[in-house]
Structure 1
Amino acid sequence: MTNSWTDIKNADVVLIMGGNAAEAHPCGFKWVTEAKHHNKARLIVVDPRFTRSASVSDFYCPIRAGTDTAYLLGVINYLITNDKIHREYVANYTDVSMIVKEGFSFDEQEGVFSGFNANNRTYNRDTWDYEIGADGFVVRDTTLEHPRSVYQLLKKHAARYTPEMVERVCGAPKDKFLKVCEMISSTANGEKSMTIMYALGWTQHSYGSQTIRTAGMLQLLLGNIGVPGGGVNALRGHSNVQGLTDIGLLSQSTPGYLGQPRDSEPTLAAHMANRNFRPMMQNSVSFWQNYKKFYVSLLKSMYGASATAENDFGYEWLPKLDKVYDTLQMFELVHQGQVNGFVCQGFNPLLSVPNKGKLIAGLSKLKFLVSIDPLETDTVKFWENHGEANPVDPSKIQTEVFMLPATCFAEDEGSFTNSSRTINWRWKAANGPGEARNDIAIMAELFLRIRELYEKQGGKAADPILKVDWSYANPKLPTADELMREINGKALVDIPDPADATKTLYKAGQQLATFGHLRDDGTTTSGCWIYTGAYTERGNMTARRDNSDPSGRYVYGNWGFAWPANRRILYNRASADPSGKPWSERKSYITWNGKAWGGADVPDYPPPLAPDRNAGPYIMNAEGVARLFARKMMNEGPFPEHYEPFESPVANALHPKMSSNPAARVFGGDRAAFGTSKDFPYVATTYRLTEHFHWWTKTNKLNAITQPEFFVEISPELAKEKNISNGQWVKVSSNRGSVKGKAVITKRIPALKIDGKTVHTVGMPIHYGFIGETKKAIGVNSLTPYVGDANTQTPEYKAFLVNIEPLSGLAVS
């Protein structure tokens, strides 16, 4: 989230799209209720289903699953065409005036940008950048008239997304779409603000990253980034998924979203050479110029005294990627039989990775499978026959399975990082059952045993294990407190105060107060630079529980610690105009007082940097401003474009020759498994229920009582067409498998007109499997396609093709 949960209360308009906060995030949704009650905010919901969020909205607009990018580009076209943008914000705080390189183009007929190679489905992105002048800075045209200015290129690109095209592609009635545009555009003035709340309904598509970027572009045009009540706010699917990505459990990044080294970067110098953060505008801060300080401090945290300047601080010990090993790539290798063993820690891939049939075939080829979990998961029981729910032959599966029982969150101490980047410390409430150990103890013993084997026997790549600094008080059981201190970072030597060399800023061993004090000479450590400040010499900042709000802006700066730097709204310098005054007193947040920046929050800007320096509020970007033109950052293009899901009931109305994302990775065998609308005419989508939490709570009797079994939601029109009655058993099938459940006939899922064709949607909850207290089910991922987002590889769970047929008798016993 760019903003905080509590800041939603400051919003004048709330757009929920790609999510269903009232059901999937009921605790967080209370801030929407607060905004409606205290701020008279209007709630807009755009969703394929009339959800509980929609039921309390001021306006609901239906949409076909998988067409959100087209819808948002339609809103952008409306704003530009009707001059409903926040002109001063856009002119000063975005790249609209920057000139793009000659040679950049978009082929509207073919649906691809310049540089596309159809043979390998990749782009040469050399033209996706700005023109650089003789002075080394970006060439600009502040009149915005140049045909290659970002503004003109965006205006032309979005012009195709008329209200009529949005209705044709999305199925959103034109009058409803225009009403949404009108409500959204009411915030393009600095007096009002809109917040966007989204979840997996946006991310779980083969173009999900571009949909989210489109939302960011929309908010920039409105002037709604960096302001109270604004932002683009991701509602995370777990209470600690934000922490997971922060600490580097994504395959392509290290802690703090630093780059994972690649084969082409054998040295630290080579790694840095690929990260040119030189300012592109005069006076811009380009804060990523400090990247090496963050990276070296991370290496010192990992390898301690073994990391020296002479050995690149241990950089050579980091693995070097030949490609990204995301979940889909890993299980593709498992399916190919190239993986001997797989460790699942708090992970149930048999139900959470697409194409369950492929998963079972792959897991059956492993030599061993390890599950570290409080529960017996479906994955750890993949080899058991459970009838239709899991029809395997155990005699043909030789995989050895190990179960290491772990404690759950309430049986351990540590931190959670919530959606709004706030790190909150949690205390242990109970001991774990039986022989269960916490995750730290399990991982520590595994590490120590592996290191002992290397010490005794040697082996390939020994140094990355032997050189790790493991200097905890009890090596077999590091404490959560020790780890939090390590993540924060400390000084390794006495560090002088840069403002006064006669003074000492830190003594050796002291905890650092801010990532601004990290150094690239090996004298500081930090396990995750964005968390520096979370555990200082003042103590554990994440354990604070002071709910005072001195500003009256719903900013609770002494509650936990929000990364970075305890900042609750990112890019908050943009809440003031170029001179440092608030856009309006009503939305005053961070302002210039003549000497420094200050206000309700920690300024996201160097405090003494005067407004007349024109450094730009987006200090992480080399341009100093926000990017409407993404340059080379996205795999499928610098502007978003509507691409159909890989399984779609219709051709792409804008460019039928290139219907789906041209840059999305598809493995050889999976392309043949895609279905067509001839055999599978209906759009399917998946979602969560309030009564369940993923595949965890199906093991709990009370949750199972409230929602005991898998079901299938369809419209009355589809039920009539297929002769299905309410409560009747139905079979839903895709080109990969089938599931069975009881039909729930509901007006909540409307039939839509798409390009003159009636398109029906089939909705299914994700939570059911064959282990637990709920009734056995096959697992809805038996249906889903094995393809992901072109940038993040997040699987396409939210839009695929199925058929549905009525059944008689029981389905799964």
Structure 2
Amino acid sequence: YILENELYQKEYVLHYTNATFVLNPNYKFEKGLFAGFDPKNRKYDKSKWAFQLDADGKPKRDMTLKDPLCVFNQLKKHYSRYSLKTVSDVTGTSEADLLAVYKAFTVTGKPDKAGTILYAMGWTQHTIGVQIIRTMSIVQLLLGNIGMAGGGVNALRGESNVQGSTDHALLFHIWPGYLGVPSAKAQKLEDVLKRRPQSKDPVSLNWWQNEPKYIVSFLKAIFGEKATAENEFGYPWMPKLEEGKNYSWLDLFDDMYKGSIKGLLAWGMNPACSGANANKTRKALANLDWLINVNLFDNETGSFWKGPGMKPSEIGTEVFMLPACVSVEKEGSITNSGRWVQWRYAGPKPLGNSRPDGDIILELGLKLKEIYQKEGGVFPDPILNLKWDYMSQGLYDPHKVAKIINGTFVKTVKIGDKEYKAGSQVPSFAFLQADGSTACGNWIYSGCYPDAGNMAARRKTTDAINQIGLYPEFAWAWPVNRRILYNRASVDLKGQPFDAKRWVIKWEGGKWIGDIPDGPAPPLADADGKPNPNGKHPFIMTLHGMGQLFGPGLNDGPFPEHYEAMECPIEKNPLSDQLHSPTVPMYTSAADQFAATCDPKYPYVCSTYRVSEHWQTGLMTRPQPWLLELQPQVFVEMSEELAKLKNIQNGERVIVSTVRGSLEATAIVTKRFKPMNIAGTIVYPIGLPYNYGWRWPVSGSEESANLLTASTGDSNTRIPETKTFMANVSKK
């Protein structure tokens, strides 16, 4: 719709995206598959998606947008199949409603307009979850909404610190600051320091070329004085990823189910209820030698061995419970979805024997160091050399951790014309070095705790000069207190804002004013329109400095493409011959079952979600009688039409089942759910909250909706597909 009606922001698309890049002639898309697909290994050869390069090694560009192989024309060709009728058939949304949404949002493609897209887990928990979000980023790039005030694609998180935990490497494939964990093939540090491709385009800032500084500084933070140039700053002591091996949630529990993992620290989690295919997860826990449950209360994970269907006498898992205190009882920071790092102080004292997470992990680490010191081991070096001095007066000190995350000069160095003493704080990541003179736990947080103090604790409400609600002295935002990422894309080539009323930055008097600019370079053109030789493209974290309409790095394709869920109610994909994503992860254990497409035993599309009265799997809320009273039971929502078809009354107890498991739920017959016409088939949706488990309420009859979901997920992130699966509902 945007392309056909030329509603895109032309100047933005032409100069700030890779729309003009010319693709390799090998690139194609046929019958639902991109070029380079290997059906045996179910993987793509991404070299088939490369750009053509000129004599200087830069991507060839067609500024006229006439070359049929340029990204812009390939984008138009790819989505020409997505007519209003076809999208209506796929989604069940009427053409009139689709058109109303299209018209309302595409007005933001005008230079002085902006629009944001907010999404939650309804998008991510699919086998094509990443590509759904990619679709929205393409929409926003076409409309010129990235880098603008009121623009972007913004996540609505279910936890206050999802951003912070990801920044600090909650996920297996990254070190803090999104530094990729090396593979086992990279045995030498120099292999890692040279891994980033270099852009041959002098106008590309390609910020990842600075990664060696961040990696070496991170290693210095981990191993302190033990990390030296002679021992590659401790790089040999760091874990590596086995080539081709995935360590995501689904894969870990698959290995656990097969018996190849012997121990688990379940830290602030409840996998017996929160993970897809919970029956498989619970059986996997029974194969462990030991399980450490760190949480506020006992839960279905810590007590899995006495849960439904379990035989305690046959389970050898030894379970340890370490009671942790709640967030308001401890000091530290959180980072919200806007990347604001906010310091929070401890309120009441922890109850009973519960302790802050920091104290628990710090003591555990010290004990491990003590044991390795006494007894040695196969490879004690990583533990013995670990820098682990984050106590004050015998307790964990979050300020010490925050300071090393910020970064410290470990040697006196001179940068420019200024000397920085050993022991002083690094002002920002621009001062980090690759020679071992700086230590930094997370480069993107560098600047949050400089010598001037804890920036995250600031609470001033004075706005910036542009008066658009940036509040630069309230808390601190990574990186370098920049409030809007890619903000140099909010201005034209001369550095003047597209939206003069809500400007983010602008070039004035030979400098940027407003927000902290995303990269220090001047505008791409001078005031007279002539190219500025010092100007840089605005998307500094991409190789070529451009917003990526064509994204050749993902596992399942450079353009988003629609595929049906692994369990679906229609036999044919309305858009291609390929029904499911060809790269979707598949697990082959006896517990990994899927209903056949259009299986009459499981005719209804089921989804899972949350209720406001309970928090995640309900561990913090189900033990509270006043909250449990508000939402005491698992329920299944269904349309009036389906209830009539099944002769189910509102409030009646029913059985919801899939090929993987079943549970009892209370029927809620509601106008909220409606039958949907999907490609000519009437489909009845149903839905359940996943906030429950057998531990509370004490009846044991209110179980997790994840007993129903499947062990499959997105091929990039492995986020499980818990939003779409086929189920049945029947009278009890």
Give the TM-score category using the shorter length: over 0.9
TM-score, scaled to structure 1: 0.86
**Residue matched to 2:683:** 759
Q: Would you say 1:202 and 2:123 are equivalent positions?
A: yes
Which residue type is aligned with residue 143 of structure 1?
Answer: T
Q: Could you tell me whether the CA contact under 8 Å between 1:348 and 1:377 is conserved in 2?
A: yes
Partner of 2:730: 805
* Superimposed CA distance per residue, residues 614-644 of structure 1 (whole angstroms, 9 cap, x where no aligned partner): 411111112111111111x100111110011
Alpha-carbon distance change, 523 to 609 in structure 1, aligned in 2, over 3 angstroms: farther
1:525 aligns with 2:439: yes
Cα 1:654–1:475 shift into 2, 3 Å: farther
Tell me how far apart the structure 2 counterparts of residues 217 and 805 of structure 1 sit (CA, whole Å): 42
1:448 to 1:134, Cα distance in 2 relative to 1, 3 A: same
Q: Which moved more, 1:465-474 or 1:639-648?
A: 465-474
1:605 Cα offset (Å): 2.1
Tell me, in whole angstroms, the C-alpha distance in 1 between the residues paired with 2:225 and 2:393. Answer: 17
Are residues 1:659 and 2:579 paired? yes
Q: Give how far 1:393 is off.
A: 2.1
Shift of residue 273, structure 1, vs aligned partner: 3.3
1:782 and 2:707 are equivalent in the alignment: yes
Structure 1 position 796, deviation (Å): 0.6
Q: Tell me which residue corresponds to 2:637.
A: 713
- Summarize the alignment of residues 136-535 of structure 1 with structure 2, pairs less than 5 Å apart: 136-276=57-197, 278-322=198-242, 323-385=245-307, 390-474=308-392, 477-498=395-416, 500=417, 503-504=418-419, 506-535=420-449
Correspondence list, 1:557-568, <5 A: 557-568=472-483
Deviations 1:435-494 (A, max 9, x none): 212111111121112112211121112111111122345496330111101111111122
Equivalent position SS for 1:804? strand
Instruction: Output the CA distance in 1 between the equivalents of 2:149 and 2:495.
Output: 16
CA distance in 1, matches of 2:213, 2:257: 40
1:627–1:209 distance in 2 versus 1, CA, 3 Å = same
1:570 and 2:485 are equivalent in the alignment: yes
Quick one: which amino acid aligns to residue 459 of structure 1?
Answer: G
Match of 2:503 among 575, 585, 588: 588
Specify the SS of the correspondent of 1:556.
coil
CA contact 1:413–1:428 (8 Å) conserved in 2: yes
Cα displacement (A) at 1:272: 2.9
Matching residue's letter, 2:481: N
Q: Which of 673, 696, 711 does residue 593 from structure 2 map onto?
A: 673
Partners of 2:354 and 2:489 lie apart in 1 by 49
Match of 1:768 in 2: 692
Cα-to-partner distance string for 1:658-703 (whole Å, 9 max, x where unaligned): 2111112111127960113322111111111111111221121221
- Alpha-carbon distance in 1 for matches of 2:641, 2:723: 21
Give the conservation status (yes or no) of the 8 Å contact 1:425–1:543: yes
Separation in 2 of the partners of 1:240 and 1:773?
A: 28
Query: In the alignment, what sits opposite 1:605?
Result: 519
1:721 is matched by which residue type in structure 2? L
Whether the 8 Å contact between 2:605 and 2:686 is mirrored in structure 1 is yes
Shift of 1:653: 2.5
Q: 1:100 offset after TM fit, Å?
A: 1.0
SS of 1:698's equivalent in the other structure is: coil
Cα distance between partner residues in 2 of 1:648 and 1:739? 21
CA distance in 2, matches of 1:663, 1:475: 53
Mapped to 1, the partners of 2:406 and 2:647 lie a distance apart of 61
1:495 Cα deviation (Å)?
2.3
Mean Cα deviation higher: 610-619 or 356-365: 610-619
1:615 pairs with one of 501, 525, 536: 536
- After superposition, the C-alpha distances for 1:190-218 in whole angstroms (9 at most, x for unaligned) are 22111110011111111111111111010
> For residues 680 and 759 of structure 1, what CA distance do their matches in structure 2 show?
12
SS of 2:544's equivalent in the other structure is: coil
Task: Give the 3 Å change call, closer, same or farther, for CA 472–354 of structure 1 in structure 2.
Answer: closer
Question: In 1, distance between residues paired with 2:98 and 2:114?
Answer: 19
Deviation at 1:655, TM superposition (A): 5.4
Structure 2: distance between partners of 1:268 and 1:669 = 37
Structure 2 spans left out of the alignment, 5+ residues: 526-531
Distance 2:302 2:453 in 1: 40
Task: Indicate the RMSD between aligned Cα atoms, in angstroms.
Answer: 1.5
2:12 maps to 1:94: no
Question: Kindly tell me: are residues 321 and 227 of structure 1, through their superposed partners in 2, closer, same or farther at Cα, counting changes over 3 Å?
Answer: same
**Aligned partners of 2:124 and 2:391: how far apart in 1?**
41
> Contact 2:585–2:712 (CA<8 Å) still a contact in 1?
yes
- Counterpart CA distance in 2 for 1:560 and 1:699 is 34
Report what 2:528 is aligned to.
none
TM-score (norm 2): 0.96
Structure 1: distance between partners of 2:554 and 2:107: 30
Distance 2:623 2:49 in 1: 50
* 8 Å CA contact retained: 1:708, 1:774: no
Q: 1:104 aligns with which of 8, 27, 31?
A: 27
**1:748–1:472 CA distance, 2 compared to 1 (3 A):** closer
Number of residue pairs the alignment of both structures matches: 717
Matched, 1:704 2:628: yes
Give deviations 1:497-542, integer Å, cap 9, x for gaps: 31x2xx32x2111111211111111111110001111101110000
State the distance in 2 between where 1:683 and 1:710 align: 18
Matched residue SS, 1:683: strand
1:670 and 1:751, CA in 2 relative to 1: closer, same or farther beyond 3 A?
Answer: farther
Letter of the structure 2 residue corresponding to residue 742 of structure 1 = T
2:672 to 738, 744, 748: 748
Q: Which AA in structure 2 matches 1:435?
A: N
Partner of 1:536: 450
2:529 maps to what in 1? none
In structure 2, C-alpha distance between the alignment counterparts of 1:671 and 1:149, rounded to whole Å? 46
In the alignment, which residue of structure 2 is the partner of 1:70? none
1:14 aligned partner: none
**CA 1:805–1:773 in 2, change beyond 3 Å: closer, same or farther?**
closer
Residue of structure 2 in register with 1:81 after alignment: 4
Distance 2:38 2:521 in 1: 47
Corresponding residue number in structure 2 for 1:9: none
What's the offset of the Cα at 1:545?
0.9
Separation of aligned partners in 2, 1:497 and 1:487: 21
Equivalent of residue 613 in structure 2, options 669, 691, 705: 691
CA contact 2:114–2:151 (8 Å) conserved in 1:
yes
Looking at structure 1, the residues matched to 591 and 681 of structure 2 have their Cα atoms a distance apart, in angstroms, of: 26
Native 8 Å contact 2:574 2:679 kept in 1: no
Distance 1:438 1:524 in 2: 29
